[in-house]
């Protein structure tokens, strides 16, 4: 997890809006990136750390809603706060249904904007952490020996050491040793912890 402040990406064709947002967002400690069109935004690179998108609904060329659809299709899960200068009620419904964080009419209250950005950034951070944790878990799992993986799988299904020993044809002691190794390598604090990890890895118990 980076220590750098979250980044807010602003896509709005109106320079007054862009620059005013930049001033406000920097004053509360965000990093800010400004884009005048969807095309410009798509040409750039996404920031490393947690971020949130402020998107104008009506843009020349590709609209904000189009971008939302496109990002979803490309599985880029950026939280989006929409802003609009028109009373776009039907659009707001569509945007919210498609998972937008918030839909604000210009001029918006500063607190409404900052609150929704906080929600967006938190969402993004949680997603990133979950993804990082999942990656870490996979990495640890891949470091196990085949025998250890087998033991982990059986532990996950709730088998006792004795049962496992019988099933894979080794002594109960050996099972205990393997299990201790698995716990250590996976960094599990308890058997319950280990079962949760197995679950997240998709080693679903295939029966009671």
Residue position matching structure tokens 């099972």: 175
CA separation for the pair 75, 68 (Å, rounded): 11
CA separation for the pair 50, 121 (Å, rounded): 6
* Shortest reach from residue 18's CB to another protein, in Å: 9
* Shortest reach from residue 108's CB to another protein, in Å: 7
144: tokens are 């196990």
Partner residues linked to 34 by β-bridges: 10
Residue position matching structure tokens 């891949």: 142
Q: Is 169 in the site for another protein (CB under 8 A)?
A: no
Q: Which of 86, 55, 60, 48 is nearest to 71 (CA)?
A: 55
Within positions 76 to 105, which residues make up the interface with another protein, using CB under 8 A?
Answer: 85-86
Of 105 and 181, the one with the shorter C-beta distance to another protein is 105
Q: Is 20 in the site for another protein (CB under 8 A)?
A: yes
* Shortest reach from residue 8's CB to another protein, in Å: 13
CA separation for the pair 185, 71 (Å, rounded): 37
Looking at 21-29, 128-136, 160-168, 198-206, which segment touches another protein (CB under 8 A)? 21-29
Binding mask 22-41 for another protein (x = CB under 8 A): -xx-xxx-------------
Q: Is 190 in the site for another protein (CB under 8 A)?
A: no
Q: Is 108 in the site for another protein (CB under 8 A)?
A: yes
SS3 state at 124? helix
């Amino acid at each position: 997890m980076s220590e750098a402040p979250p980044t807010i990406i602003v896509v709005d064709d109106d320079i007054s809006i862009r620059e005013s947002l930049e001033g406000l967002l920097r004053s509360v400690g965000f990093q800010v990136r400004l884009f005048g069109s969807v095309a410009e935004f798509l040409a750039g690179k996404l920031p490393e750390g947690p971020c949130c998108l402020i998107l104008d609904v009506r843009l020349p060329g590709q609209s904000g809603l189009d971008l939302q659809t496109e990002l979803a299709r490309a599985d880029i899960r950026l939280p989006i706060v929409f802003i609009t200068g028109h009373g776009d009620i039907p659009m707001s419904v569509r945007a919210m249904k498609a998972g937008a964080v918030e839909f604000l009419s210009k001029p918006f209250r500063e607190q409404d904007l900052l609150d929704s950005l906080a929600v967006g950034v938190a969402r993004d951070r949680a997603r990133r952490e979950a993804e990082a944790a999942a990656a870490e878990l996979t990495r640890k799992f891949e470091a196990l020996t085949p025998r250890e993986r087998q033991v982990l799988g059986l532990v996950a299904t709730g088998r006792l050491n004795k049962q496992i020993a019988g099933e894979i044809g080794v002594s109960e002691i050996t099972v205990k040793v393997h299990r201790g190794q698995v716990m250590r390598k996976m960094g599990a604090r308890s058997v319950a912890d280990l079962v949760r990890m197995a679950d997240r890895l998709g080693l679903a118990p295939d029966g009671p």
